[in-house]
Structure 1
Amino acid sequence: MGESSVAQRTTVTEVLYSSNKLTEKKLEGVNNYPQWKKIVKLALVSRDQEDYLTTKKEKADSVWEVADAQILYQLLNSMEGHIVDLDTHVDTVKELWDYLEVLYSGQNNMVRIFEVSQEFFRISRDGCPLTQFFAYFKNLYEEYNSLLPISVEVQKMQIQREQAVMSFLGSLGPEFKSVRSQLLSSSELPSLTDTFTVRDLGI
């Protein structure tokens, strides 16, 4: 084995053994899957290892196999025990990633779509600090979009964005009545993030 191969293997091993988890936020199920998935993917992107999530090894590669096994170990350690029990049959990172998508993505899961839709359109701030509430609302909005993907058609995209802004404005208390009236009287609503910034400026 050449010196470069040894150095590469050593580097991979050092990186992978730096932590036995990819995130301290454990996968609990469908409710926190979108957030967990995003954190895990970001962790692997930062290590230039995101290919393991989507690529299947096509030939013998001992370095790939070692890295894949270590990432798989870290993924399993980033899940609650009852979820690990469902995944013991998988052998690679890609198999696990694809299987979790089937179990928890919510795609075509009408019960979950109904639950998220109900919460999204009926959400209320109820005295929660505004910044904290906006963060929660934004996460809910992202899950809603993952269940019902945003259309590539410009007109439909505009309608979906307006629905999000109106739902957020509607969840705020009467103290924001003037801001709400000003935004709704505009010819074009801002984005959800811009809406929060406008509110924060108190115009």
Structure 2
Amino acid sequence: MEPKLSELFSYSESSLLLWKSVKDMYDSQNNSVRIFQLKKSVASLKQGDHSFVQHLGSMKSMWNELDMYRPHMTDSAMLLKKADEDKVFQLLASLGAEYKDLHSHLLMTQELPSFTNMCHAVQKEEIRRRVMNVEPKSNSKARVFTTNHKATDDRVLGKKAD
């Protein structure tokens, strides 16, 4: 345990209370962000300059961590939920950069939304962007650059800026 973290638990009256405090602090955490990050990393992992053994070691390490967060099971309801979560993770990983804030927000919720609810949220965000005339960040930077230079050009030419 890191020294700074141990300070939080240093005055526990017994080891049982210490373990209960640690469990309460970490057991209720939503691991969706880490699971998403691991799944995205596994999907994009390439051998590159690493040997096969190093590459396999990296992959197995991520798989083992995923198994810790999402143990294998036979309960059909839990299997369906896990499959739905996998669809959510794949959808989020496939979205463009303009949805980064939305998927960060959705991953931080107490319980990961269902695939259907995730689709609704993305559609609402797309409509909101259209109604608010929000452009992707790369285009808006270009527009600001163009607008600033147009105003400068207009002043040089003696025109009033709109």
Fold conserved between structures, TM > 0.5: no
Q: Larger radius of gyration, structure 1 or 2?
A: 2
TM-score (norm 1): 0.31
TM-score (norm 2): 0.37
